[in-house]
Amino acid sequence: MFDEENNLNEETTNLNNNEIVDETVDNQNNSGVNEQLAALNDKYLRLSAEFDNYRKRTLKEKADMLKNAGEDVLSKILPVMDNFERALDSIEKSNDIDAVRKGIELIYGSFKDFLAQNGVQEIACTNEEFDADVHEAVTKIPVATDDLRGKVVDCIQKGYTLNGKVIRFPKVVVGE
């Protein structure tokens, strides 16, 4: 009986020691998990802050780009404006209408070249087949010959494309 009590006491002591060891191991595992959780949480916060800074920076860059997008085009058009100012001065001083006309034609040519360099093209429309996707019909008029029927007879206002996209439809008169 005494041996049984000793065995029972030893088993209880072993169980208590095992529980203490298990609790210590659990506490060590918990502290490792807590450290890992803290590290991952810190990494998440830093990544979130970095993304937020990236988003703000790209929004600011986009706003600046939109604000200054026309700067290049406008700086290239300034010489045409200078030519117009010179032409206006020469109109007041000159009596030679032909010279003034030639100067204005030169300015018109330089402005047309400027538009072409920036991708703006005039839409050809007179004597072309009427196309509702490209032309805007203002009116229809009767025509003398059948070959002008359904064609553009007159262009009231020119149309333009920018890099292949219509930015202003030509206003036309269609023969019927």
Measuring CA to CA, how many Å separate 36 from each of 25, 47, 99? 16, 16, 85
* pLDDT computed for residue 70 by the predictor: 80
Helices 71-93 and 97-117 sit at what angle, rounded to 10 degrees?
180
* CATH class held by domain 119-176: mainly beta
Averaged pLDDT for residues 143-149? 87
Does 46 have pLDDT greater than 90? yes
pLDDT band at residue 67, thresholds of 50, 70 and 90?
Answer: confident
Q: Is 123 left (phi over 0), alpha (psi -120 to 50) or beta?
A: beta
Taking only the tens place, the pLDDT of each residue in 1-44 is 555 555 555 655 555 555 554 555 556 667 788 999 999 999 99
Percent of all residues in the chain with a pLDDT value above 90, rounded to a whole number: 50
Alpha-carbon gap, residue 85 to 90, rounded angstroms: 9
